[in-house]
Amino acid sequence: MEDIDAKEETITPEALITEFLKDMRGTEGTDVELLDILSEHILTVTPSETAVNCAASAIEVLAKERAEVLGGSSSNHN
């Protein structure tokens, strides 16, 4: 009888995150720009202490850019 554990591949946290991001990018309807922000700041093996604040700031910039493209202004939605 074969040892099942010996056949299992060890998956590192980095490999798991990389595979998750790859799968998400290939999923229809995924907001790739938002995913890029999250992968840069939060979806890392060792996020920085300021990762959430940095991601929130980048998301705010993205939202403002999108509002401008739509002809609106996000300044009225504070």
pLDDT tens string 43-67: 999 999 999 999 999 999 999 999 9
Is residue 25 within 8 Å of 32, Cβ to Cβ?
yes
Q: What percent of the chain has pLDDT over 70?
A: 81
34 closest CA partner among 25, 44, 23: 25
52 closest CA partner among 31, 32, 37: 37
Regarding pTM above 0.75, the answer is no
Counting beta carbons within 10 angstroms of the beta carbon of residue 37, is it exposed (0 to 12), middle (13 to 18) or buried (19 or more)? buried
Q: For residues 51, 14, 35 and 52, what is the CA-based torsion angle, rounded to 10 degrees?
A: -10
Domain boundaries defined on the chain: 31-78
